[in-house]
Amino acid sequence: MSEYIIFDALNTKLCTAPFMSAKVILKKLFIANHTMQTEKKDFGFENYTLNPKAFVENFAPILAQAGKNGENIIAIENSSFYSLQYVKNYIANNINIKNETEKKLNKFELTTNFLADVKHVNSILSTKNAIYNISKNIKHTFDSFKAAVYIGPDLGLDVDINDDLNTLLDTVKLPKVHFEKELNAIGYDIYAYAPEIALKMAGAVLSDAYDSGVDFIITSDIRAFYMFDTCRKKIEKAIGRQLSLYVLTIPQIILLALGETDKKNLGFNEHKVKPTILE
């Protein structure tokens, strides 16, 4: 039995390869894991307010199945992490929801009494053993680069994944530059019905990061990556400005530090704005 299972039921319209590179780094660090086999999709955390009941019904079986097997879940990006964490807390703090969910889970021999712990991949990579192995095997540090980190709005979930992110940046010696709009919304949740507004919101954040003089921007959220990378040409058209700033994820950065050059392992093959860091 693996110590961790990876929940990666990410929306197929989004660019998943940069986040799937987490599987490569976990293998390199000998962190036992396997991918969760589930037909459940990832709704995306922004949808929890639209129909909380459906949101809970979607994610509760994932938590219960992993808990039944005595496994923890690794979420490889923010939206999945927040979704699973929110549902776990929501069930624990709402007795009526807990009872309703329990009845539905019991049909599949599952229970709300054993919901899996949820870990962000950044948390796994920043454990003492992982940091030791990363530090011991670093081939390249990032002293000569500067990065902006997109954090996003406070979601009020009483969880902070930024300390782990900072630990990893310090380990590979990557200077982080703060920029004014690093906590701003990027419009993903309104993109479907107000695309022009959404693109301008994302463009404002991206422009601010670009003007801070960094080499690239980092995000741990697949929705932000979608806006910043996949929608880049639309953003540039919306704001009337070209922005030659590529986007990286933490797993990609750690892989680069360990000397990985295979663009498929890094997920670079699916970037719309091609990273030039290997050139």
Give CA–CA dist 259/279, Å, rounded.
14
Q: Percentage of residues in the chain with pLDDT exceeding 70? A: 92
Indicate where the chain has its CATH 1.20.1050.140 domain(s). Answer: 4-122
For 176-194, b/e burial (b = at least 16 CB within 10 A) is eeebebbebbbbbbebeee
pLDDT exceeds cutoff 60 at 2: no
> pLDDT digits over 112-124, tens only?
998 999 999 999 9
pLDDT exceeds cutoff 50 at 1: no
> pLDDT digits over 59-118, tens only?
898 899 888 888 889 988 998 898 898 899 889 889 998 999 999 999 989 999 989 999
Q: Are strands 118-120 and 147-149 parallel, antiparallel or unpaired?
A: unpaired
Q: Domain 139-270 - what CATH class? A: alpha beta
Out of 3.40.50.300, 1.20.1050.140, 3.30.70.3150, 1.10.3720.10, the CATH code matching 4-122 is: 1.20.1050.140
What does the mean pLDDT of the chain come to?
A: 89
DSSP readout, the chain? --SEEEE----TTS--HHHHHHHHHHHHTT--EEE---------GGGTTT-HHHHHHHHHHHHHHHHHTT-EEEESSHHHHHHHHHHHHHHHH-HHHHHHHHHHHHTTT--TTSPPPEEEHHHHHTSHHHHHHHHHH-----TT--EEE-------SS---HHHHHHHHHHTT--EE--TTTTS--SGGGTTT-HHHHHHHHHHHHHHHHHTT-SEEE-S-HHHHIIIIITHHHHHHHHT-----EEE-HHHHHHHHTT---HHHHTGGG-SS---TT-
**Residue-level pLDDT at 114:** 87
233 confidence band (pLDDT: 50, 70, 90): very high
> pLDDT digits over 124-181, tens only?
999 999 999 999 999 999 999 999 999 988 776 656 678 899 999 999 999 999 999 9
Whether 99 and 31 have beta carbons less than 8 Å apart is answered as: no
Whether 79 and 223 have beta carbons less than 8 Å apart is answered as: yes
Give CA–CA dist 64/85, Å, rounded.
13
> pLDDT digits over 6-43, tens only?
777 666 667 788 888 999 999 999 988 887 776 666 66
Written as six digits, the tokens of 80 are 């999945």
**Residue-level pLDDT at 26:** 92
pLDDT exceeds cutoff 50 at 209: yes
Whether 166 and 129 have beta carbons less than 8 Å apart is answered as: no
Indicate where the chain has its CATH 3.40.50.11810 domain(s). Answer: 139-270
**Residue-level pLDDT at 9:** 66
Average pLDDT rounded to a whole number, residues 186-203: 95
Give CA–CA dist 273/267, Å, rounded.
12
Give CA–CA dist 33/235, Å, rounded.
37
**Residue-level pLDDT at 32:** 86
